């Protein structure tokens, strides 16, 4: 099997892993077959709710389709799962990062506090929200 064929198989496997894991985790399936599968699985059906867990299980046989070497199979299966997870993140609703407002206090963020009024009044980092006058 040539490098180009392995590369093509890998890309196909990533998309297939994403599609199957998405179907099992988020869709009802044709004729509600996936819903019935989850119901029949009982408490083990909870595994079908986690896209990331499913992508590992789906990627394992696809890794064997891409390569025949046992060590390479493990790495390829993990890479297929990782690729499916990236596709999942790209296809999900966007993560919106907003800047922290000027007066926000969050004990986990570090800021520079000014003491005094001169240009040399800056001291080391302190926790946001701490009062420099009482430190």
pLDDT in tens, 73-100: 999 999 999 999 999 999 877 656 666 6
pLDDT in tens, 12-56: 999 999 999 999 998 888 899 988 988 888 888 777 888 999 999
pTM of the complete model: 0.65
Yes or no: say if 65 and 28 are a contact pair by the CB < 8 Å rule.
no
- Kindly report the number of other CB atoms within 10 A of residue 40's CB atom: 9
Yes or no: say if 106 and 128 are a contact pair by the CB < 8 Å rule.
yes
For the record, the structure tokens of 5 come out as: 């064929």
Task: Give residue limits of the domains in the chain.
Answer: 3-91, 107-135
39 Cβ neighbours under 8 A, 6+ residues apart: 45
- Kindly report the number of other CB atoms within 10 A of residue 13's CB atom: 25
């Amino acid at each position: 099997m040539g490098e180009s064929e392995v590369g093509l198989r890998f890309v196909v496997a990533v998309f297939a892993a994403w599609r199957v894991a998405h179907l099992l985790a988020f869709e009802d399936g044709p004729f509600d077959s996936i819903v019935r599968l989850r119901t029949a699985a009982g408490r083990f059906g909870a595994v079908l709710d986690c896209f990331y867990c499913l992508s590992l299980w789906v990627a394992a046989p696809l890794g064997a389709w891409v390569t025949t070497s046992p060590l390479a199979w493990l790495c390829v299966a993990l890479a297929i799962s990782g690729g499916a997870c990236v596709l999942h993140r790209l296809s999900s609703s966007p993560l919106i990062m907003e800047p922290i407002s000027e007066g926000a206090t969050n004990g986990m963020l570090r800021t520079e506090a000014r003491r005094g009024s001169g240009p040399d009044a800056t001291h080391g980092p302190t926790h946001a929200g701490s009062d420099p006058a009482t430190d």
